[in-house]
């Protein structure tokens, strides 16, 4: 069993983990900016980098969970999400309202397939 862990900035957490053909990653905005749309853009850019580092990309998304501090902002987040993910690669997705760290409006967690099969050792 081989698990790859991609170091993050926070102690005790990885920014991505890959196991076999799957990649698990989560992101928030680097800057807790004033708008949900901007925090969503920053989070998606970080997710995209994490996926690429682990051998995947947004076209390989299987599942996503979006955590919002205010579900009333879902339409604002959706506009950014829909533009980013594109019309041909929709994953299964849930969106829920939660409490997040101060000034953090959105956190996004995804599971994706790797683009290329992992060579078995």
Q: What is the pLDDT of residues 70-93, one digit of tens each?
A: 999 999 999 999 999 998 989 999
pLDDT band at 9 (very low <50, low <70, confident <90, very high): confident
pLDDT at residue number 26: 95
* Domains defined along the chain, listed by start: 3-113 (3.30.1330.40)
Q: Is the pLDDT of residue 121 over 60?
A: no
Q: What's the chain's average pLDDT?
A: 92
* Predicted local confidence at residue 120, as pLDDT: 54
- Helix/strand/coil (H, E, C) string of the chain? CCEEEEECCCCCCEEEEEECCEEEEEEECCCCCCCHHHHHHHHHHHHHHHHHHCCCCHHHEEEEEEEECCHHHHHHHHHHHHHHHCCCCCCEEEEEECCCCCCCCEEEEEEEECCCCCCCC
Encode pLDDT of 43-63 as tens digits: 999 999 999 999 999 999 999
């Amino acid at each position: 069993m081989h698990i790859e862990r991609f170091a993050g900035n926070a102690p005790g957490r990885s920014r991505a983990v890959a196991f076999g053909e799957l990649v698990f990653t989560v992101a928030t905005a680097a800057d807790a900016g004033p708008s949900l749309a901007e925090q969503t853009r920053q989070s998606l850019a970080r997710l995209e980098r994490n996926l690429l580092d682990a051998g995947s990309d947004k076209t390989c998304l299987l599942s996503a969970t979006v955590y919002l501090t205010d579900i009333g902002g879902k339409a604002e987040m959706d506009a950014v999400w829909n533009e980013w993910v594109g019309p041909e690669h929709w994953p299964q997705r849930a969106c829920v309202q939660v409490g997040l760290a101060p000034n953090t409006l959105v956190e996004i967690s995804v599971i994706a397939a790797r683009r290329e099969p992992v060579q078995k050792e």
